[in-house]
Each structure stands twice: as C-alpha cells, then as structure tokens.
Amino acid sequence: MTYTIDTNKVVSEIFNDEAVIVNLASGAYYSFKGSAIAIWQLIGAGYSDQEVIEQLKDSESINQFIAFLVQENLVTTSDVTVKEPITIDLQFVRPEYKKYDDMKDLLLLDPIHEVDQTGWPHKKAE
C-alpha cells in the first residue's frame, strides 16, 4: 500500500530531531520524533508500507504509526508507484508521535450565531 500527503491540507517541516506537521482542515498539529520522521519522509516520497518496513525493520511500530497517520487524515491511500529519491537516516529509533488539538476550538464555526435565509447571522436564542 502506498500513500499520498495532500499538501493542500497538510503542511510540515522537518528539523534535525523533530518534524512538525499541521492538518489545515482539523487544526490539529503533531510532533514526530525518532523514526516517525523517516517514516513520514519515506511515505511522502512514495514508498509503500512494506518498503518502509524493509528499510527500517520494525513492522509493529511502523504499522501502528501508519495507521495513526491514516486515522488522522494526514495521509490517504494511493495508487502511485513512482518514488522520489530520498536520503534519510535509516537507523531505527522507536517512532514517537504526539498530537496537539488546542487549536480545534478556533476552527469550530461560531457557536453563538445562526444564519437566516438572507445569509444574515443572528444570535441564537438563549
């Protein structure tokens, strides 16, 4: 199985020891450390889950992490088989990943107003 990162919905930046990922649709953002960074890069470059496991040699934690990426809508399954050349650290370090959802409230549509037929918002009745 290969995956795609939709860069219109997900943006990321990779530093030496941590990757920061932001889901633009949900407002959630993530910190990836250890081999989570390499997995993210390999998937983004078009490697399949099996190829990632071959590269990093730890199927259980890699499968768990990829399942997390799918669950969080950070990647979607893809038919693409073209791989981009990539240079990464292939020494396996247990993937660490953390989700932050403190921005979620900012993305909720305004809870105190509703909109009438003309498009004009009105304060909801108490």
Partner 1 sequence: MNASHPTQFFNTLKALYSSSSTGQSSAVHVRLAENFLTIHFSRPEIKAYMLSSLSHILVDNVHSSAITIYCFDSPLLTTFPWQGQNYGVQGAIEGFNTTRFQTAYQHGSGAVMMYDHDTKEGIYWVKDFNDIPYWERSFPFRTILHWWSRDTTLLLLHAAGIGQKYSSALLSGKSGSGKSSTTLSCLLRDDLQIAGDDYVLVDTETPMLYSLYNCAKVEWDNLERLDFLKPLVNTNIKEAEKAMIFMHDTCRQKVMQKSRLDYAFIPVVCNANKTTIVECTEAEVLKSIAPTTMFQLPSGQTETFKKCIALTKQLKPYRIELGTEASEIAAVISEFFIQKRQML
Residues making contact with partner 1 (CB under 8 A): 8, 11, 13, 15, 17-20, 22, 24, 27, 29, 31, 100, 102-103, 106-107, 109-110, 112-121
Q: Would you say 12 and 20 are in contact if contact means Cβ atoms under 8 Å apart?
A: yes
Give me the least distance between CB of 74 and partner 1, in Å please.
15
Give me the least distance between CB of 114 and partner 1, in Å please.
8
Q: Would you say 95 and 35 are in contact if contact means Cβ atoms under 8 Å apart?
A: yes
Phi, psi (deg, nearest 5) at residue 82: -80, 130
Give me the least distance between CB of 27 and partner 1, in Å please.
5
Give me the least distance between CB of 19 and partner 1, in Å please.
8
Enclosing H/E stretch for 114: strand 113-115
Structure token digits, residue 118: 């003309």
Instruction: Please tell me the distance from the alpha carbon of residue 117 to that of residue 20, in angstroms, as a whole number.
Output: 42
Q: How many CB atoms lie within 10 A of CB 86?
A: 13
- Residue nearer to partner 1 on the CB measure, 87 or 117: 117
- Residue nearer to partner 1 on the CB measure, 24 or 70: 24
- Residue nearer to partner 1 on the CB measure, 7 or 50: 7
